[in-house]
Structures are given as C-alpha cells and as structure tokens.
Amino acid sequence: MRKSLFSVIVISVLTAVTITSRAQEATKAAFEPTDKSLQQYKYPDWFRDAKFGIWAHWGPQAVPRQGDWYARNMYIQEGEKWETGAYEDHLKKYGHPSIAGYKDIIPMWKAEKWNPEELMKLYKKVGAKYFVSMGTHHDNFFLWNSQIHRWNSVNMGPKKDVVGLWQQAAKKEGLRFGVSEHLAASYTWFQKAHSADKTGDKAGIPYDGNDPQYADLYHGKAAEGDNKWLTTNLVWQKQWLGCINELIDMYHPDLLYSDSKLPFDSIGRTMIAHYYNQDIAKNKGKLEAVYNCKEPSAGRFAQDVERGVLDSISEFPWQTDTSIGDWYYRTGQKYKSADEVIQMLIDIVSKNGNLLINVVQTPEGDLEPDVLNILDGIGNWIKVNGNAIYGSRPWKIYGEGPSTMGKQEKGQFGGVKDTRAYQPTDIRFTTKDGVLYVFCMNTPVDNVQIQSLGKLSKYSNKEIASVSMLGSKEKIQWKQGDSSLAITKPAVLPDFKVVTFAIEFKK
C-alpha cells in the first residue's frame, strides 16, 4: 500500500515537472506583437518539405456561375467602372439588388454534391501535402460554426460546418490543414452594396446593403476616403481581430492565410502572436504554425504571392497562391493544363517556395470531368517525379535557359508570371540527400546541355558519378565537358512534358 502510494506520488511529481518544463519552454518561445519578436519565427519542417497544397476557394459566390467577386460585382451597374456583367445577370435571374441582393444568394448555396472525404482522398492521391479551406471571403460569410456572426454556413446555406468537415477529412488523410481569411478587405470591398442605380427606372433606390437589418452582413457605410484595400476604421479592425481569433481558437489550423499584406499593423501583429502562441501550447512547446500574407516576410511569416512567382531564390520559405482557373466557378472557363501546373510547381520549388493551387468546385461541391483530368495528369507526374520535389531544397542557382534571362513578364500581384511558355532548353534545379535533380521544363528535342554542370562552371565543384532519368530503367548516356554536362536524349521519353534527371556525384 505504501509502495503504491509512493509510486503515485513519484509519478505525480514527475508529471508536474514535465508539465512545468513544457510550460517554461512554451513561455520561453512565446511571441509578442512586435516585428522584433516575430522575427524569432522558425519555419516548420512540414511546410518546407510539403511544397504542394490544394485550396478550396469555394462558397456561396459560386452559385450564379459567374466567376469571381460576384457579391461585389452584382452591385455595379452596366456602364460603371469595374462593371463585369454580373449586375445584368443578377437582374435576369434574381431581380433588382434593392430587393434581391447577395443575402438572397446565400440560401441557394446547398453544397448538395459535396463529399469532403472523397475529395480529400483524391487530393492526397494527386500529391497534395496540405489542404486549405476558405474560412471567409470578402462577402463576410463565414464557413465555420461561428458563435459571434450569424451569417455562417451552419446557420444558412448548406447548414454544415464547412471548415470543420474539411479539417476532419484532411486529418483522416494525414494532410496538414489550413484556413484562408479574406475578411480584412471585406469592409471596403462590400461598399458597393451601399450604393444605388445611377440610371434607369430604379435610379436612386438604395440597394439592400443600406438596410440596417443586414448591416452585420454588408457592414456599415464607410467614412469618406476609407476606400483602400484595408479599412482605416479602428472599430472594424478590432472586429476583424475578434473574428479571426475565434477561427484560430476553434480550429487551431496548421496554416492561416490573409488575402492582403499584414492587416492593420499592431492589430495584425497581435493576431499573429496569438496564432503562434496558441500553436506552441497545442504542440507542447513546438511551433508548427505557418502564417501567409502578401508582403516580404523578413522572417516573421511565409510571404504569399498571388498569381505570380518570385524571380529568384528566397532566403525565406514562401508560397504562390493561384487557381487552375477563376477563383470561383464560372460556366465555360478555361483551366490551366496539368503540364502548366507542373511547370509552375517546379519553378516555385526551385526558388524555395510552395505552390497552393485552387481547384475549382461547382456550386454543388463536386468537380467537373475536365478538372478531374487535370488532377489526374498532375498526379501521374508526381507519382514518378515527386522525390525530386518533396523535402527538396534550392541548389546554388534555381535554373538556366531562356526563361532565366532578360525581362520576364510580371505576375498579376508581384514577381513574374506564374505560367509561361518554357523552351526545351529551360532547366530548373532542386537538391535532396546529396542528389541534384535537373528538370527539363519542356520535352527535349535534342541532347540536353546543362551549362551549370560543366567542369569549368563556377557552380560545379564535384565530379559526376551517374545520371539517371526518373521513372525510367534506360541507361542514360552522358558526358561532362568543360562547358556543359551533355545528356544524350533518351530513346523513350515520358508522356508528360517535364523530364527529370537525377545527378549523383563522386564522394
């Protein structure tokens, strides 16, 4: 009895010591809402190794099948600046926005064909290592079970906790899980709902965004001059913080994305510090969280570049976010091909980045056959070449060839264009476990010449031992000369455009 009691006491003391030790470790690593403190951030290995994520940029704005920004564009009359045709489409299908506004679109989003578990199995098969759910877009509609905002997917529309169900599916498949928030820009983005027609028989009749009973969806009317991407209204900024903290505290995502630069200065830093600190507590002293926003990170977070790619190797891990087509479903839209996505992924990874790509879902929640074919093509390439991507790091240079020289076409929101026409002489590099991977960015038409691996190249200081092509048993013929490594064009090339060679060096 005494021995048992003694054992219990010893175990209790050891447990208390362990908990105290962990608490001290967490406290030691705790972040404060300052740039200096946030620069202590260490990028988690899972993010550095993952390289490829899939995003569900999906919600009630898909319902009209008109593509992006419907909740705003439906309030922009024909002939006005930024008019897209959404206003006219809305009039025909749903009525005038003074009565039938965006609030009336939300209940039409039923997501009746959405199967998150089956989609997640597919995304894992394609090669994604993390998955990101939309949390809230600029339409101020929350896809989580919010206790502070009635306009959410549990109360309305599909009557489901979309974020929660995506998260369960991701965990089941062993994928890291993230959430995107676009709320910070919502306050000024949605101001068009507070206007009225300028012409026609309903000129001057206020749109439904002016109705006080819907102010919690459309926000109030912004002060004059408050019209930039991020609001200057301190009350709204604090409201944003409360909403995003609720999202963080309910779901503890591995990744959190903001569709802007770091929002609202000190308020944004307060959010990041809280996000990092709660993650440290969740992981018993280890920080695993990744925060993305659209400005250079200086080591505080992972910079995100929308619809663009950095033009050189970054000191800090970063991410491109883009879509295979529009962000939201649009009838008849043109999608990127599987080869274009693969080329983009390689270019990004060669520069120390990750690719997060939106897979466009129908309003009902399933994927169309052409989207499934694209995913199948990506998955087939990754099955053969994934070892050169996952867990890799940049080499001494990211690549060579025409796409690395001269003026490069700019991306939409920074960097260079994410998809472009690569030549057979365009090369990209990654390295892993002492092996150098060489990607020919388009199908070789002649022997492959790699100048960076010539004996006299400033980048080559090791003698090559072997060259092989991933996915092939063919013996590859090669010769390392002073000016280049020459690889004889293989007799049989794979069906996809990008061919990968593994270069091993003599010890």
* DSSP string of 413-463, one letter each residue: TSSEESS----TT-EEEEEETTEEEEEESS--SS-EEEGGGSTT-TT--S-
For the residues of 192-257, what is the DSSP string, one character each?
Answer: GGG-BBSSSTTBTPBPGGG-GGGHHHH--PPPTT--SSS---HHHHHHHHHHHHHHHHHH--SEEE
Contacts 24+ apart (CB under 8 A), 213-221: 214/101, 214/103, 216/149, 216/150, 216/151, 217/102, 217/103, 217/140, 217/141, 217/151, 218/102, 218/140, 218/190, 218/193, 218/194, 219/140, 219/186, 219/187, 219/190, 219/191, 221/191, 221/194
User: Is 3.40.50.720 the CATH number for 399-505?
Assistant: no
In the three-class reduction of DSSP (H, G, I as helix; E, B as strand; rest coil), residue 88 is classed as helix
User: Which segments in the chain show pLDDT lower than 50?
Assistant: 1-27, 29
Q: Where are the domains of the chain?
A: 35-188+223-388, 399-505
Q: Return the pLDDT at 21.
A: 43
Cβ-based burial of 267 (10 A; exposed 0-12, middle 13-18, buried ≥19): middle
The pLDDT, as a whole number, for residue 411 is 81
pLDDT of residue 9: 35
pTM above 0.85, yes or no: yes
Supply the pLDDT for residue 1.
41
Quickly count: other Cβ atoms within 10 Å of residue 237's Cβ: 19
The confidence score (pLDDT) of residue 415 equals: 82
Q: Which CATH architecture has domain 35-188+223-388?
A: Alpha-Beta Barrel (3.20)
pLDDT for res 28: 53
Q: What pLDDT does 418 receive?
A: 84
Please give the pLDDT value at position 32.
98
